[in-house]
Structure 1
Amino acid sequence: MKELTRLMLALGILLGIAGVFILYLSWPLLTGTTVILKTQPVDPFDIFRGQYMTINYEISNVELPEEIKEGDNVYVLLKEGDDKIWHAERVSPNKPDNGVFIKGTARQSWRGLTVEYGIEQYFFERNAELPLRDLDVKAKIGSSGQARIVGLLQYGKPINITYRDVTLTS
């Protein structure tokens, strides 16, 4: 009986840890502010990682304050434009007290310092065909600045993903 209690306690702790981890990753989806971000997609396929799209955002190429160095966290305050696209209004190394902001990390690229937000890759199923031009990303941003992709839009509407028929040959 004691061994069963220990086993149940250990299992409960493991499930609790897994639950907290899942809740942490899902929190922006549950409570976040929905924003639409302008994209510049790149590289639709990688032989080692499968079918995905690397996404570059308009807000990735913002002018950073001089004190920001590679690897530093930055907070980009966003503002919704007349076109319903959210644009960078201000960049700061400090978390803003209010407003909608997204947290990112300064990274070195051929253009100088850019900002990565953790939403630069969108994976989709094998044999999926989807448009790669004129895409916007619908994302949710939590109160901590964490972002999660909710969907892809083209001309303001959800994209239509089609699947090629696959023929198996022997």
Structure 2
Amino acid sequence: MKRTHIFILFIILAVAQIAIPAQMIFNRESILESGTAYKFKTEPVDPSDPFKGKYIFLNYEVDRVKAEDKNWVRNQEVYISIANDNLGFVRATSASLEVPKTGDFVKAKVDWYATDERTLQFSFQFNEFYMEESKAYNAEVAHRKAQRDSLPNNTYALIYVRDGEAVLNNVFINEIPIATFVEE
């Protein structure tokens, strides 16, 4: 009888260990399939973390929005409403502590609030793009060179958004995925 209980408990734990990561993967894939794609202009650096591996840390040009005077708290979760500008890149339209009722939005963290300018600075949580270790440094160099190029809007991250959740799909230089760009 005791072995039966242990065996059943083992089966439940094994199913949970498979089901939880599978649900996380399914959720991300679902956002990629049915979410709205937005182009976020980027400004990368290339850190290395012994636990995470090589990745490109992305800073986004859109990192502040006009906001009414509120008691914003550093690291507080905030909802940033977004829309495309006339060039097809994302722009922040408003910030709220509550989920917006209409339009697309993403979750962010408050960095600071400038009361004089009534501007909220924030940071997104989808700022790490993982690459094959041998390509990460070359990708950062290529991206930095592309940023200095005279062509505007030639580097961006493609982010899919649905119901406040965001998934970083790829980083592009001159409309070419960064891993492919580095190989050329």
Q: Scaled by the length of structure 2, what TM-score is found?
A: 0.71
C-alpha contact (below 8 Å) 2:64/2:92 kept by paired residues: no
Answering whether residue 38 of structure 2 is matched by residue 35 of structure 1, we say yes
Query: 2:42 touches 2:61 (CA, 8 Å); kept in 1?
Result: yes
Q: In 2, Cα distance between the equivalents of 1:14 and 1:38?
A: 42
After the TM superposition, which residues 126-145 of structure 1 pair with which residues of structure 2 at under 5 Å, given as runs?
A: 126-128=133-135, 129-130=138-139, 131-132=142-143, 133=147, 134-143=154-163, 145=164
Does the 8 Å CA contact 1:117/1:147 hold for their aligned counterparts? no
5+ residue gaps in structure 1? Answer: 164-170
Deviation string 1:48-80 (CA, Å, 9 cap, x unpaired) is: 454222211122233344312212211111111
Report if aligned partners of 1:46, 1:52 keep a CA contact under 8 Å in 2. Answer: yes
Q: Structure 1 residues 57-66 or 20-29, which shifts more?
A: 20-29
- Which of the two has greater helix per residue? 2
| Structure 2 partner of 1:166 | none
For residues 101-112 of structure 1, what are the structure 2 equivalents within 5 Å?
A: 101-108=105-112
SS of 1:20's equivalent?
Answer: helix
Answer yes or no: is 1:152 the counterpart of 2:156. Answer: no
The answer to whether the 8 Å contact 2:110/2:120 transfers is yes
Instruction: Quote the Cα distance in structure 2 between the aligned partners of 1:141 and 1:54.
Output: 19
Preserved contact between residue 62 and residue 88 of structure 1 (Cα < 8 Å):
yes
Q: Does 1:88 align with 2:108?
A: no
- Report sequence identity in percent: 18
Tell me if 1:121 matches 2:125: no
Asked if the contact 1:65–1:92 (Cα under 8 Å) also holds between the matched residues in 2, the reply is no
What RMSD in Å do the two structures reach over aligned CA positions?
A: 2.8
Which residue identity does 1:135 align to in structure 2? Answer: T
How much does 1:11 deviate? 2.7
TM-score after normalising by structure 1:
0.76
| Partner SS state of residue 59, structure 1 | coil
List per-residue Cα deviations over 1:16-56 (Å, max 9, x = no partner).
35423542465244132221111122x21336454222211
